[in-house]
Amino acid sequence: MAMALMRKHVQNLGLADEWRVDSAGTWATEGIGATDLAIEVMQEQGLSLDEHRSQKVTQEMMMAYDLILVMVSNHKEALQVEFPDQAHKVFLMSEIVGETYDIDDPIGMPLDDYRATAEMIAGIIKEGWGRIVELGR
């Protein structure tokens, strides 16, 4: 959902040609689609996750991107340990708005939890856009 919401924000700003937004998991199993509830919540916002498939973070990805945003602190720590030369790029999404808290994956939770998570992520992207741009340079 974070990827779709970030892509939407970038597109709304007319920056889709300048920004590359992707999603990868710290310990992801390759090729898994988004959950039905994530798909539903994104559809409510006019976004599609139908083509989304999970992928594991790689060294090449870490090097290719200027900014890596993660949802939870143990993912941040894992990436910084596994890719120490890229550690300076890794931030908790909440750090973008000057706070430090995890955004838990709503998998296995009811639809309203997915909606709340999507709303939280969208709010952080909107409020923290200036910081995202700053860190992404």
pLDDT digits (tens, 9 = 90+) for 1-11: 999 999 999 99
What does the pLDDT read at residue 27?
84
What does the pLDDT read at residue 28?
87
Kindly list the structural domains of the chain, giving each domain's residue range(s) and its CATH number in brackets, ordered by start: 2-136 (3.40.50.2300)
Average pLDDT over residues 6-23: 95
Containing 91, the helix (H) or strand (E) segment is strand 90-92
Residue 72's pLDDT band (cuts 50, 70, 90): very high
Q: How far apart are CA 29 and CA 87, in angstroms?
A: 23
Angle, CA 95 vertex, CA 125 and CA 136 arms, to 5°: 65
pLDDT at 38 over 90: yes
Average pLDDT over residues 80-91: 97
pLDDT at 137 over 90: no
Q: How far apart are CA 48 and CA 40, in angstroms?
A: 9
